[in-house]
Amino acid sequence: MNKKKWSKFLVAILVLTMSVWALAGCGGSSSDSSAGDDNAKQEQKADENTYTATEVTSDLSMAEEVKAFYDAVDLDYGYDLSHELAYSEDLADFLGWRSAGSDSEHKCADYLVDKMNDIGLQNVEKIGTQCDKFQFNSSSLKIKDTDIELTPASYQVNGTDGDLTAEIVDVGTGFEADYEKAGDVTGKIVLAKVDQSNEAWIDGYAKMAHEKGAAAIVTWANSGYGEAGTDSVNVQDVCCADLLPTTAISADEAKKVIDAIKAGNNECTLNVDAEMVDDGGTTYNVVGMIPGKNHDQRIVISGHYDKYWYGFQDDCAAIGLVMTIAKAMIDSKYEPENDIVFICHGAEEWGSTDCMYDWTTGAWGMVEHEGYGDGTLAMINCELPAFANENGLQVAAVPEFFTMVGDMFDRGLLITNGKAIFTKDPVETTTMEDGISYREHGVPYFLNSFEGSDFMVKNYHTSYDNEDTYDADTFQTNIDWYGAYAMYIDTEPALELDLTATAKQLKDNFNEEYAKEAGVDIDAYNAAIENLDAAGKALNEKIKACNTAYEEAVKAEDEEAIAKAREDGAKLNETSLEAFQMVQDDFLKVTDFGATYGHTPVDSNVENIDGTLKGIEDGVLWSEKEDGSGACECALNLNTVIEYNYCIFSKEVADGTTSEYEKSYYKSKDHAQWGWDHQPLIVHTGDASYELFHAESVDDLDKDKITGIYKEAREGAIKDIGEYCGQEIEDMNSIAEYINGAL
C-alpha cells in the first residue's frame, strides 16, 4: 500500500473526496450536524452501524456454498505463507526488501507460481510488464574518528558509485530557511529531519538538497510516520527524477550523527549500492484461476507482494489472504459460474521514476496491456488485512458498490470472528492501492479500509510492520468476507452496480454558486443529474428483477429459467460495466490521495482564493484562531495542498513540483501510468503564494501585484468550472441515453 503526501492537510483533501464544500474560514462555512445529539442517541447510532455474526442465516442460493467455504478456510496456511513471504531471506534483497524488478521480486514470483500450482489453481502464469528497476544491495554510513557505522535505507534512486567521502552537515528540517542558516553545502552530505505526513514528501527534500549542490542527503524522522519507536526507519516512494543519493536512518541514529557533528567529527563516508534503471526492469504479476462455466466474465481477488522490510501487513498477509481464499474455494469444491482469478501484483509500492504516478505499476500493466479490464465484474483488492484496527473493520468501495456492500450486511452471508467488528457504512476508495489502475479501465472494486489507523502512523513502511502486528480474528474475518463477497458476485447473474450513486456524488459535488458565476445553465445541470439518476434507477430495477428471477428459478429447480436469468444478467452486466467505464472516463478526478467525480478540486481552489483575498483585505496573514481564516492558511490548501511547497522550499523547487503536477502527462503521455488524464486543472498562484508565505505582515506585500495574481487565477478557475460543467451536462445525458437505449 502506498500512502501519498501531506497528511497535515489531509482534511482538505478528504473534504474534496467527501464533497464537503466549506473549508472553515476560507470563504465558506460549516456546521456540526451532530450538535445537540445526546450520548444515548450517539451510542444507539453506533450500535446500529456495527455488524457481528457467528453463523450464516441467509436463504440465498449460494448460502450452503459460502458455509462450506468458511469451513474449508485454513488459517494456519494463510499465516504460514504470510510469514514465509515476510521473513524468508531467499525471497528478499537487502534489509528484507522486495522492490520493483529486483532479483528478490523475480524469485518471489517463481515461488508464488509454485504455491499456486500446489493448491490446485489452474492456468498459473507469470505475466511480465515493464517497470523501472530498483535493486538495493547494501549500504553503510561511517563517521570518521567515531564508532558510528550505520546501515541507511535507500530511496528508489541510484547509489553513490562506491565510497562518497565528504563533510556531513545538519540542515535541520531541510527547508529553504535551514539551508540559508547552514551555509554552502556544495559537494557535502546533508542530514535532514523530514516529516512526510505533516510537511512534504521526500521529493521536496531531495530537490532542495540538489538545488543547493549537495552530493547526497540522509534523512530521518520521528513524527508523521514511523512513530512506533525512535529506532524506526521510514521510507516512501520517490516521484521526482534521480537527482542524488537519498537515504534514511532512524531518529536514534540521527542523534548520534548530530552529536558527532557538534563534537567536530563531521567527515562522513557514505556507500550505497543501489541501482535504479529507468525503463530497465520487468515486474511480474502472478496469476492463477479457478475456471468458471462462463469465461467471458471474471472476478479478480488480489494483493501485492513487493515490500519494505518485513512488510508483514503491507502486503505479505494480503497475499496470504488471497491464497487462503483460493485454497478454501478449491478444498470446498466450489464451482464458480465465472472465472475467479487470483493475482499477486508486483511493483505496487513504486515502479516508475520521475512520475507522479509512480505506484501501482504492475496492476496497471495487467489492465492496460493484458486486457484484464474487459469483462471483469469486480476487483476485490487487499491491503494490510491482519492487524486489529482500533476503528473496526470497514469496506472501502467505489460509490457504485456502496449499495451492494451495505446490503450484504443484511443478507446473512457474512460472519465475523472473535473480537472483530464491522462498521456497516462503506467509505470511498482513494488512489492508495492497485484498485485505481483497474477502476480507470472500467472495473468496479472494493477492499478493506485501513486509513486513519494507528498502524499507519506507527508501523507503516518500517521494520515495525512485523508478525507482532498479527491479529487472528481480523485475518480470519477478512478472509471470510472477501470469499463471501466473491461468491455472491459470482453467483448472482446481474452485477449490483448502482449508477444512481454516480448521480448522487455529482449532485453532492455540484457547487451552484460557482457554476452560476461561470454562466452554467443550473437547470440543465440539475436536469442532467436527474436524467442520469432515472436511468440508474431503471437499470437497478432490471438488475434486481433478474437476480430475483434467478433465486426463484433455483428454488424451483427450473433449469430453463436459470439459464434465461444468466443470459439476461450477462447482457445487463455489459450495460453496467460500459456505463461505469464511461463514468470513469468522463468524471473521475484524482489527486495524490483522493478520487472523486466532478471538479471539486477546482471549486476548492476558488474557495481558497476567496479566503486568501479576504485574509489579505483583513490584514491577517496567519490567523491566531483555529478557524484557519488567515490568508496563508487558505493559500496553503490551493491545488490540493501542492501550494505548501512554496511555504517551506525555494520557489524554484516549488515551481518544479507545480509544473510536474500540471504536466501530468509528462511521463504518462504514452499512457504508461494510471491517472494521467484524470488530473484536475490547477491555478498558477505560486508567485503570489511564495511572497505571501514569507512576508512578515500584509503591509510588507505589494497588494496590487499579489491580489492581481490571485484574482486572475480565480477568473481562470471560474472559466474552467464553466467548461467542466458544460462537458458534464453532455456526458451525464450521454450515459443516461446509453443506459436507456441498452435497456
Cell numbers found for residue 215: 552530493
What is the model's pLDDT at position 244? 98
In angstroms, the CA 156 to CA 660 distance is 18
In angstroms, the CA 492 to CA 484 distance is 12
In angstroms, the CA 499 to CA 533 distance is 7
Bridge partners of 170, per DSSP, are 191
- Count of residues making up the chain: 743
Is 442 in contact with 373 (CB distance < 8 Å)? yes
In angstroms, the CA 54 to CA 25 distance is 48
Q: Is 278 helix (H, G, I), strand (E, B) or coil?
A: strand
What is the model's pLDDT at position 23? 28
Bridge partners of 572, per DSSP, are none
In angstroms, the CA 369 to CA 437 distance is 12
What is the model's pLDDT at position 671? 54
Is 28 in contact with 21 (CB distance < 8 Å)? yes
H or E segment to which residue 270 belongs: strand 267-290
Question: Grid coordinates 489527486 are at which residue?
Answer: 591
Range list of β-strands (E), 305-386:
338-345, 376-381
Q: Mean pLDDT, consecutive 10-residue segments, the chain of 743 residues? A: 40 34 33 37 57 95 97 98 98 97 98 98 97 97 97 98 98 97 97 94 96 98 91 93 96 98 97 95 98 96 98 97 98 98 98 89 91 93 94 94 94 95 93 94 94 88 96 97 97 98 98 98 98 98 98 97 98 98 96 90 97 95 80 95 96 92 59 76 95 94 96 98 98 98 96
In angstroms, the CA 711 to CA 99 distance is 46
Cell numbers found for residue 90: 531467499
What is the model's pLDDT at position 9? 36
**Whole-model pTM above 0.85?**
yes
Range list of β-strands (E), 35-174:
50-51, 122-143, 149-150, 153-154, 164-170
What is the model's pLDDT at position 37? 42
Beta strands 267-290; 246-248: pairing state: unpaired
